[in-house]
Amino acid sequence: MPTDATRPYTASELLAVSSARALKDGQIVFAGVGVPLLAATLAQRTHAPGLTILFEGGVIGPFVQPGALPPSTNEQRCARRANMLTPITDVLLLLQRGYVDVGFMGGAQIDRYGNLNSSFIGDPDAPKTRLPGTGGGNDIASLAEIIVAMKHEKRRFVEKVDFVTSPGYLSGGDSRARAGLPAGGPYKVVTDLAVMGFDPETKRMRVETLQPGVTPEQVQANTGFDLAIARETPSAEPPSADELAILADLDPERLYTA
């Protein structure tokens, strides 16, 4: 299986590039710092110059300075040369009002329906690990299509998440809409092994593209549930030199791409 040691880019760079490619010009994108911000900025600099970035701190259309990436979505570096700043609640209400096309998400665990856990490992009443919690994640996942970018590990791709912090398709089918979430839902799951989508009927996760050099067997072996992988699944183009150069320009100290 390819690793950071055997390919000319890191897993984080691969996540950023694949995520960027999943974005379309003109979209309004809720991004966190780290890989999501790199992905959205990379998209702006390649095929999506009219893409707008939102930060949950209350930032609309920022222009992040290369080499001065923000430590969170709530500090002044996020606000730098933005088009507009709003209270937090109002930028989140853009999700509810339907203005946001895509939200970026991560999580400690994900299941076959795209449900995400960033709150508890183990029993929530007596957790092995108390994680930071939802932040804006629950709101984003409830009200927009989401792209999940994370490392592909069996302990993260689990049969059932310990806790649903941010709803995916819940138990599949129309269960999400029935729970009161008629809009949005998981759109893509981008990992260092594959890019996955969801079956339109069952809402189960399925592989759409393999990352370069990765086999279907390797994807399945690193997934804690049965994953639909068609025999003829295509492989993605590796990150181009241009894409990697842009990422290096944005994050020269490799804070988020190491």
Partner 1 sequence: MAPTPYLELRERTKARDRSLRDKRMSLEEAAALIADGEHVALGGCTASRTPFAMIWALVRAGRRDLKVSRSIVSTEGDILYASGVSRHIMTSWFSQGIVWGVSKVMRAHVESGRATLEEWSHMAMGLRYRAGAMGAPFMPMRAMLGSGVLGRVEGAKPMECPFTGEPLLLVPALNPDVALIHVQRCDAYGNAQIDGLSFMDVDIAMAANRVIMTTERIVSNDQIRRAPDQTKIGFFTVDAVVEAPFGCAPHECYGVYEPFFPHMDAYAAATGKDPEKGVAEYLDRFYHEPKDWNGYLERIGVGDMLDAARRGRTIHAD
Q: 138, 116 in Cβ contact below 8 A?
A: no
Q: Which is nearer to partner 1, 75 or 237 (CB)?
A: 75
Q: Which is nearer to partner 1, 176 or 195 (CB)?
A: 176
Q: How many CB atoms lie within 10 A of CB 170?
A: 20
Q: Which is nearer to partner 1, 125 or 232 (CB)?
A: 125
Residue 59 C-beta: closest distance to partner 1, Å: 7
Residue 2 C-beta: closest distance to partner 1, Å: 26
**Residues in a beta bridge with 121:** 129
Q: Which is nearer to partner 1, 159 or 217 (CB)?
A: 159
- Strand pairing class (205-210; 194-198): antiparallel
Q: Maximum CA pair distance of the chain?
A: 48
Name which of 121, 17, 98, 102 is nearest 52 in CA terms.
102
Structure tokens at 111: 């299941």
* Helix (H/G/I), strand (E/B), else coil: 196: strand
Residue 118 C-beta: closest distance to partner 1, Å: 9
Kindly name the residue from 13, 56, 208, 243 that is annotated as catalytic. 56
Residue 214 C-beta: closest distance to partner 1, Å: 27
Rounded Cα distance between 100 and 20, Å, is 16
Is 56 part of the annotated catalytic residue set? yes
Give the active site residues: 56
